[in-house]
Amino acid sequence: MFEDIDNINQEVEKFQSNSLEEIEQFRISYLGKKGKITLLFGAFKEVPVDQKKEFGKQLNILKNNCQEKINSLKSKLSTNSNSSKSNTDYTIPGQPMNFGSRHPITLIRDRITNIFSQIGFSISEGPEIEDDWHNFTALNFPKEHPARDMQDTFFIQDEIALRTHTSSVQVRVMENNQPPIRTISPGRVYRNEAISARAHCFFHQIEGLYIDKDVSFADMKKTLLYFTKSMFGNEAKIRLRPSYFPFTEPSAEVDVSCTICNGKGCNVCKYSGWLEIMGCGMVDPNVLENCNIDPDVYSGYAFGMGVERIAQLIYQVNDLRLYSENDWRFLKQFSSETF
């Protein structure tokens, strides 16, 4: 019997394994119900009385050695397994993702262009650095004309400046295309003005142009009414007030019924019930001639609006500086906006 204990003890000491399945099989083989050590406990009754004490002592030592061996191998496996894994705790809740959003000016610009695209207007773009011809002269701004003083200009060098309006794009379109012409020109423009809540040195415009035979002021009014109702709702109304622009004659300012008070009068519309949104007019014959279009055959209308102005009416943001300060707290408010 004692010889069996010595043999099993040697087997236990020699056993090594890197497999959890082999370790478990080893445990069953020696400590299971029919294991070698368990069977020795069953044979305890056959041991002579004078040897029972020593036999029991050796048998318990064998059992403990076997259990310690098993625990040691399992612990070693667990340590190696943990050391090969990442220290990342995947049970910790993840940090929320901050999704970006489109800029409010971009949202309004796209909404405006989509409205005009639905009625056949194409989109034209041009350079932001313009020469005097495209920015002023072709648009009926003669040299020394007082109308040039209406726009404070950033000059880069003589007769080269940052464009003051996207009408310069319309000149390029008329120079390179024959009527019918139906296009809008979105883009950034620059004016040498003091920055405040109501003015900025750069802003965004969308100007429209339609040239064809027998185009009338009534056609322009109908187009602008369609745009207004599409932008501000079917209840919106417009009114046209006489005005002056060098490149259109006759010219008008377009007002829309206040979207806040529905024309009843409030502090936003200064209790007039109306808000100015754009300028418009019939294209001056001199402009058509400058672009090699016969004014005796063709006529047309033009209009222009500030994107920031429309955004102000839609979002009720009264400080223009907020649009260009890149303040995340401001911009994230538009993350759910889609048009």
Going by pLDDT thresholds of 50, 70 and 90, the confidence category of residue 142 is confident
Give me the residue spans of the domains in the chain: 2-83, 104-334
**What is d(CA 259, CA 247) in angstroms, rounded to the nearest whole number?**
30
At 169, the pLDDT band (50, 70, 90 cuts) reads very high
Among 302, 92, 318, residue whose Cα is nearest residue 206: 302
**How far lies 40's CA from each of 50, 65, 66, 151, 295, in Å?**
17, 15, 14, 108, 119
pLDDT number for residue 285? 96
* Distance between CA atoms of residues 339 and 122, nearest Å: 19
Task: Report yes or no: 161 and 153 within 8 Å, Cβ to Cβ.
Answer: yes
Comparison of pLDDT for 37 and 330, the residue scoring more: 330
Instruction: Give me the torsion for CA of 326, 330, 331, 335, rounded to 10°.
Output: 170
Paired tokens of 190:
């620059």
| pLDDT, tens digit (0-9, with 9 covering 90-100), for 219-245 | 999 999 999 999 998 988 999 999 999
Q: β-pairing, 248-257 with 160-162?
A: unpaired
Considering 77-81, 114-118, 138-142, the range whose residues carry the highest mean pLDDT is: 114-118
Q: How many CB atoms lie within 10 A of CB 92?
A: 7
* Top-confidence residue, 121 or 41: 121
pLDDT at residue 83 in the model: 56
Would you say the C-alpha torsion 36, 42, 44, 45 has a positive or negative sign?
negative
Between 240 and 59, name the one with better pLDDT: 240
Cα gap 228→235, rounded to integer Å: 9
Q: How far is CA 87 from the centre of its chain?
A: 34
DSSP 259: T
Contacts of 10 (CB under 8 A, 6+ apart): none
> In this predicted model, which residue has the larger pLDDT, 323 or 12?
323
pLDDT recorded at residue 69: 82
Other CB atoms within 10 Å distance of the CB of residue 228: 21
State the greatest distance between any 2 C-alpha atoms of the chain, in Å, as a whole number. Answer: 137
With contact defined as beta carbons under 8 Å apart, do 195 and 201 qualify?
yes
Beta strand 129-131 with 274-283: parallel, antiparallel or unpaired? unpaired
What length is written for the chain? 339
- The strand pairing partners of 283, in sequence order, are 248
CATH 3.30.930.10 given to domain 104-334: yes
Q: Which helix (H) or strand (E) holds 255?
A: strand 248-257
- Which pLDDT band holds residue 185 (cuts at 50, 70, 90)? very high
State the Cα angle at 235 between 233 and 241, rounded to 5°: 100
CA distance 151 to 166: 13
